Every structure is written in structure tokens, then in C-alpha cells.
Chains A and B, each alone.
Chain A
């Protein structure tokens, strides 16, 4: 099975979108997971609902919402454009933003669960041994949540690779910029005689997804070296 240049491009675009998406969603998901797992504050339920909303909204609505906010006419979009000369619409970064937002709820949920499984008294023990807030987070909380964080990363990566609705609504279908595998498959199916290409791309999607799952399994097993509780 050989790939033509446009097909390769779709694979590379997909990977690029997924990697960029992870680069901003993972730290955000860790922060949100930690806040939701550990902090009590007014508006916590609202934040929880907001974070989870992409899960229950149609992805097209997510993309449309992004368009309203980050579009050239949107409040943040206009500001980014005038201040940094940065446009998100029709760009790989824009596609990453759309895909990352859809992946965020699942990632936050996974990380939050792994944080909640950590005995908070372990952090107290670290405190009594002289570890301050940041020190404790880095030396105790983060390593203990690592299985959850790596699972969240792999899941998020897989979701971003396959995200369709939000990406096509916000970033459109630009080959080499925003045309990911999912969009390329859709495009091929719209083209007469494109079934063979669609099938090829579908098989590639499957192979990448399988690899990601195997990687998740391996990471999980490595992290299992220690349980969360002795």
C-alpha cells in the first residue's frame, strides 16, 4: 500500500493537529483536574459543567462557538488578529484548538479520577516533611497521578486525530493545514471513485488508533509498578 502526496499530507496534518492540541490541553486538563479534585470554591459546579459541555454538545456547536469567539469577527479573534497578527481560523493551530476542546472533558475526567484516588494524607505526610505546595505537587501528586495523566494523553491524542465536526466547522477543510485524516476520508467519499482512497485512509486511522491504544496499555503497565496505595 503506497500513499500519494495528498494522503501523506492528511496523515501528517492529523498528527500535527493532535500533537499541538495535546500541547495545550494536557497542562490545562491537569490544572482543571486538580482544581476540581482538590479545591472547594463557589462556582465549582459551574466550572465542572463548563468543562464537560463539549462532551454533550454536538461538535458542530463547539466549532460554531469557537467561530463566534475566535473568528476574525469574534472578540478574542479580533484581538489576536490586531495584537499578534494571529489568525486561528483555517489554520492547523485552529484545528488543534477545536479538536483539543472536544477532547478536554474526557481528559479532565480521567486525570481528576486519578487525582482523587491519591490518599490526601500522603500529601500531608509530605507537608510534615517540609514540602511546600509546588514541591508537593511535583514530587508526590504528579508522579502518583501519572497513570491517569498518560491515559488521558493517549485518549486525548486519539480523540484529536479523529475529531471531525468541530474542526470542519471552525477550521474548514484546507489540505495541508486543517485537512486531517477524518476530513480527508470525508472528502474522498464525496469524490466520485474515491472509495479506494477512503478505505486506505480509514485503514491508516485504524492503525494509528491501535498503536495509540497499545502505547496506553504499555504506559499503564509501567505506571502500575507502584499502586496508588501501598
Chain B
């Protein structure tokens, strides 16, 4: 477990954060700027000292103020990757990579060859940091952090300084890192797209405290999650399993807990699971099996909670077995269809809604 319970007062700002997440996979800390997420990361890497509390990763205690423990950054073995990478400008890429590896206290870690290969930075080794593009710099920064053999990766908006195509490229790499090296990560971001793609656990931060936290699939698809439910791009995050090779009519099939979902395209190999984000405003509710529609995905479900946001939109949770979709409808629609909790309904999702490569309708391996 990664267990965090720290507080810190700095001027008018008060950070008081408590959460516990598994010490595997990616935990995203999501919040607006000023919510304290970078401050939290500075507490974790040791550049800020907590006033009170404890912090441990597995059985390694980094902070326990009451017992007088507050390890300095150099003893924490946190792989810190900030927005701009912070490569050492007077060292070559290769020397940057070796900087942490040479000083690592632990024996076993990812090998240099493996890291260089995963990140695709083999051709950059002799270059100087100033000769690198923003994306290349982030790759090297990630490599440097990984080679120091950290017990946790602390990623502070590592994509914020990159343009959209580069973002996608690095996101793909982060995904690979997550799978190739079993190092837990804390990922600070204000981008929902990044959360959807990478996060296993999600901690929502507002004004210095945690307003919600838990597995990402649980928090999305809920009508009352703070910070998220008022967004226009709120939706449900589904876990799908790629079912067959291409079906006859040029589409791909996937399995959603026994129900069939059609996708226009997919990069996921057969049998692998992946996640798909379905924005609430792409989901239509029907009370009977519809006929004569172009919509390919008709999912059978049951209405969960219904919540009027108060801005002319009602969020309806649709339970599909253990998973959940959200649908955004008007109050008038709720009345005319007599939508109530427990009602059996059909959720209609256009298959193209499941297939935009960028933005919020992500389909990713994972």
C-alpha cells in the first residue's frame, strides 16, 4: 500500500491529504491548479517538509513526524519527473541517464538496455539536452528516473509542456512503462484525458484536501463524483475485452461482461482487455429495444442513481453488471420516460463514440 496522511501549512494555503492506494499501477492526483497537487508531490519527493503526518510506500517509511522520521530526498528513492524534465544541461544524455543509476542504493532495477529500448532513446545518447525536442527531453527524464531504480515514480504533469501529438506519444510510453516495469507511480495532472488513459486509482484534490478517491472505474460513471460530475465531458469508463478478429461487416467486437460491443477499429490484440471512455452525452437511453436505428451498440442495463445537476442536465447512471455508464439527459426526458432507479433500460452508444484516437473518447490497451 501507499499510505499518505500529511498536512502542511504555508501562508494561507493549507494542505491536508489522506489516502491509501495499492502500491501497484498508476495513481493519478487530479485537481485544478492551486488544488495542492504539486505541493503534495513536493512533500512526497522530500523538497517540502510536512508539518504533521506519515507517508509510507509498502514497508518503507518516508515520513513519520511523530517518530522523527523525515527522509531527505536523496534517501527516498523517488523517481521525480517534472514538467520540463530538468535534465542536467552540462551532461550528455548518456551521462544524464547514468547519474541516478550510479548513485542507486538498491541492487536490482530495470537494465539500461531495457530502458533505452523501451523509451527509444538509443540514438540520442551522445547528444546534449539543449539539442533535444521537448518530447525527447521527457523520454530521457523518464529514463533517468527509471534507471535510478526508484521505489515509486513521481510524475508532475510530465506532459504539460508538450503539444498534442507528443503528448500521445509519451502517454503511450508511460503506458508501456507501467506494464514493462512494475514500479508504482503517482501521476499529477489536471487533464482528464491523461487520467482516463493511465490511471488505475484516482485521487481528486480540491483546495488542499482529498474530495474523492478510489479505483478510476468507480469514480467515473458516477453521477455524484465531486469535481468530475459537473464537467461537460463527464462519462463512464468501461473495461472491454477484444473478442474476435475482424467481423464480417468491417468492425471489431469486444466483450463487456457478456454483452457485445462493436468498435470501428482497434489496436488491441485479440483476447486483451482495454478501456473505453464513453462521454455521458453520447449515451441515449431507450426504455424498449429500439428498431431501425443506425446505432450498433445497444446495451442492456438497469438504472442506478439519477441526479439532477441543476443546470438543465440530469445524469443517469446505467449499471451494466459490475460496470457503469453515464447518460446525460434533460429533466423533461426523465419525466416523459418515467426513468427511475431500478428500471431496465437500453443504453445506445454509437460505435464511433468509442473510437476517437485523441481527446476524451479514448480506447487504450490496459
Contact = CB atoms under 8 A, between A and B. Distances in A.
Q: Do A and B come from one complex?
A: yes
Interface of A: 119, 121-122, 124-132, 135, 139-140, 143-144, 225-230
Nearest to B79: A128
Contacts of B137: 230
Given A124-B73, A130-B100, A230-B84, 18 more contacts: A121-B82, A122-B88, A125-B86, A126-B99, A127-B47, A127-B74, A128-B73, A128-B74, A128-B148, A129-B74, A129-B99, A130-B103, A135-B103, A225-B128, A226-B128, A230-B87, A230-B89, A230-B132
Contacts of B77: 130
B86 A121 contact: yes
A144 B86 CA distance: 13
Where chain B touches its partner, the secondary structure class is loop
A227 B74 contact: no
B10 interface: no
A144 B76 contact: no
A132 B46 CA distance: 13
A226 B130 contact: yes
Contact of B86 (A119, A131, A227): A119
Nearest to B47: A124
Nearest to A127: B73
B231 interface: no
A128 B77 CA distance: 7
A225 B90 CA distance: 8
A225 B131 CA distance: 11
Contacts of A230: 84-85, 87, 89, 129-130, 132, 137
A124 B46 CA distance: 9
Contacts of B79: 128
B45 to A, nearest CB: 5
B268 interface: no
Given A121-B82, A125-B80, A125-B86, A130 B128 contact: no
Contacts of A225: 128
A126 B47 contact: no
A6 to B, nearest CB: 46
Contacts of B78: 128
Contacts of A122: 86, 88-89
A122 B100 CA distance: 13
A10 B88 CA distance: 45
B104 interface: yes
A129 B86 contact: no
A92 B105 CA distance: 49
Q: Chain A CB within 10 Å — which of B45, B79, B99, B145 has the most?
A: B99
B357 interface: no
Given A135-B103, A230-B129, A127 B87 contact: no
A225 B129 CA distance: 11
Contacts of A143: 90
A78 B164 CA distance: 72
B72 interface: yes
Nearest to A228: B89
A135 to B, nearest CB: 7
A49 B253 CA distance: 76
A130 B86 contact: no
B262 to A, nearest CB: 46
